[in-house]
Amino acid sequence: MKKVIEINNLNTEFGEKQILKDVSIDVRENEVLVILGGSGCGKTTLLKHIIGLHLPVSGSIKIFEQEIIGMDEGEFDNTLKKMGVLFQNGALLNSLSIRENVAIPIRQHTDLSEEIVQRLVRTKLHLVDLDEAIDMSPSQLSGGMRKRAALARAIALDPVLLFCDEPTAGLDPVTSAAIDGLIKKLNVQLNMTVVVITHELASIHRIADRVVFLDDGKVLFFGKFEDARNSKISQINNFFQKGIF
């Protein structure tokens, strides 16, 4: 299966502390890969490297078979247009309506007419079942609705790759299940490759094709979700014993 992301021997340091230690993983086309592990294990740092927010000390990150470390700004900007990011807190602008929030990346990266921009905004909101909230402000929405609005903005440019940082954090079980269902629907219906960071056991069970388990900056396990559940590795067993599947 085609590899959309290839990471080899990635090392990261903040000051004297080494955060990622010789991390090597890949992400396959059209899969949902979940990055998991305890607090401070390096999950978010790994994501920030992939989307270009941090540079590693050493190693390689290839996206769409192109090395992004050292890539010039123009080339990387073109790569970024193929990626969408759902941030943990949603990162919606409270001063703008949901319509305007979703339109931001479309206006920033295209020269489409306003009529087409508005048509695309309505289409993306419909995909996340949020048609009725188009002219509401983020403050008028529930936590789950804000996550769906942020998801609509993340897919505004029809990305090939979608990154989700703790998409169900702070949500009740019913709302969490609905968000997971949306992520899986986008993965299947739009042939979108999805990388999710989460510590929510129920979410991992619902959406993961493969998982990466990080522990103290190292890859402790990388493979199919079912194989992770049946692992004999004590840290992984302890992690999964916190939930019921």
- Extents of the domains making up the chain: 1-82+162-167+193-245
Provide the pLDDT for residue 56: 87
Query: Quick one: which of 114, 105, 202, 234 has its CA closest to 159?
Result: 105
pLDDT beneath 70: ranges in the chain: 40, 90, 242-245
Around Cβ 202, how many Cβ atoms within 10 Å? 16
Predicted structure pTM score: 0.90
Domain 1-82+162-167+193-245 has CATH 3.40.50.300: yes
d(CA 184, CA 224): 17
Provide the pLDDT for residue 32: 96
Query: Quick one: which of 58, 66, 104, 65 has its CA closest to 84?
Result: 104
Collapse the DSSP code of 218 into the 3-class scheme (helix H, G, I; strand E, B; otherwise coil) and give the result: strand
| Contacting residues for 231 by C-beta, under 8 A, at least 6 apart | 221, 237
How far are the Cα atoms of 94, 168, 189, 201, 237 from residue 121, in angstroms, in the given order? 17, 23, 18, 32, 43
Provide the pLDDT for residue 19: 86
| Contacting residues for 105 by C-beta, under 8 A, at least 6 apart | 153, 156, 157
Provide the pLDDT for residue 199: 80
d(CA 110, CA 117): 9
